[in-house]
Amino acid sequence: MNDIILKIDHIQKFYGNEGNITKAINDISFDVEKGEFLGIMGASGSGKTTLLNCISTIDTVSSGHIYLDGKDITELNSKSVANFRRENLGFIFQDFNLLDTLTISENIALALSINKVSSKKINPLILDIAKKLNIVEILDKYPYQVSGGQKQRCACARALINNPSLILADEPTGALDSNSSQMLLSTIQSINEQLNSTILMVTHDAFSASYANRILFLRDGKIFTELRRGSDSRSIFFEKILNILTIIGGGRNDAR
Ligand code: ADP
Ligand code: MG
């Protein structure tokens, strides 16, 4: 049995006030083991983003606890959350957020400089991660000089450079065509398999979700069910995901 890296313990998140309350998360508990690639699915409004935002400390829970590496992150004060996020989490954003005026190398270094890593240590770290993601030859280029796939791998390198305990992605393929989606998902999958990174990916898209090892399906702020890939091929897993989506709603034709 692997180490539990993330423990979600009976969390709730309510918006609004008495009389007009939205239970965005209504008592959710689950554990994530180190090295898991967990997908979170559910129709629009089911609570996916709220759940991810609570885990990433962008939002706060109304009740319950979230433990990352055994530390209760719901107890962090507002001063320490920013540091916590930088030191422990990696984010893969939908639009990749690369800065056009910085080289690929400088874009990756950004996360490290903020973490006050000495400049002598930065270059070997960047080279190491660039080798793993096969972007060594473009390190000195600017984002506009490289392909879409290379930009994606740069964004993944930036998410990984701090060696985060957890990598979070909210609809990472949401703005991509199917070719680019497939490339990004393969990259995320290899990060998971080769580097043993733990990944939490929110998606409404069954194809994206089929790259995960396990999927939690949310409905109305609760966990409706979970699906493990086990030894299924990705296409069989994909069919099983679609079957659950027909029950809970969301999926292929759900634009969000
Ligand atoms: P999903 O990402 O699955 O589409 P969300 O987590 O964004 O769902 O939203 C879950 C529910 O919480 C929805 O009913 C949504 O309207 C509500 N909600 C989300 N954020 C807020 C907010 N800041 N204020 C009020 N209601 C919100
Ligand atoms: Mg959302």
User: What does the pLDDT read at residue 175?
Assistant: 79
Q: Is 13 in the pocket of ligand 1 (CB under 6 A)?
A: no
User: What does the pLDDT read at residue 113?
Assistant: 67
Q: How far is the CA of 131 from the centre of ligand 2 (A)?
A: 33
**Residue at token pair 């290899």:** 190
Between 31-35, 168-172, 218-222, the lowest mean confidence (pLDDT) is in: 168-172
Phi-psi region of 112 (alpha: psi -120 to 50; beta: other; left: phi over 0): alpha
Topology annotation, domain 4-248: Rossmann fold (3.40.50)
Residue 118 gets which letter from DSSP?
-
User: What does the pLDDT read at residue 140?
Assistant: 96
Contact (Cβ atoms closer than 8 angstroms) between residue 215 and residue 39: yes
User: What does the pLDDT read at residue 217?
Assistant: 97
Average pLDDT, the chain: 90
- For residue 229, pLDDT beyond 80: yes
Contact (Cβ atoms closer than 8 angstroms) between residue 233 and residue 39: no
The pTM (predicted TM-score) of the whole model is 0.90
User: What does the pLDDT read at residue 256?
Assistant: 41
Q: Compute the average pLDDT of residues 5-16.
A: 97
Q: Compute the average pLDDT of residues 237-253.
A: 84
User: What does the pLDDT read at residue 14?
Assistant: 96
From the alpha carbon of 13, which atom of ligand 1 is closest? 12
Residue 87: half-sphere exposure toward Cβ, Cα within 13 Å? 10
- For residue 254, pLDDT beyond 50: no
Q: How far apart are CA 142 and CA 151, in angstroms?
A: 10
Summarised one tens digit per residue, pLDDT across range 85-129 is 888 999 987 777 889 999 999 999 887 766 677 777 888 889 999
Q: Is 12 in the pocket of ligand 1 (CB under 6 A)?
A: no
Q: Is 48 in the pocket of ligand 1 (CB under 6 A)?
A: yes
User: What does the pLDDT read at residue 224?
Assistant: 96
Summarised one tens digit per residue, pLDDT across range 31-61 is 999 999 999 999 999 999 999 999 999 899 9
Query: Domain segments of the chain: what residues?
Result: 4-248
Q: Is 24 in the pocket of ligand 1 (CB under 6 A)?
A: yes
The 3-state DSSP class for residue 52 equals: helix
Q: How far is the CA of 199 from the centre of ligand 2 (A)?
A: 17
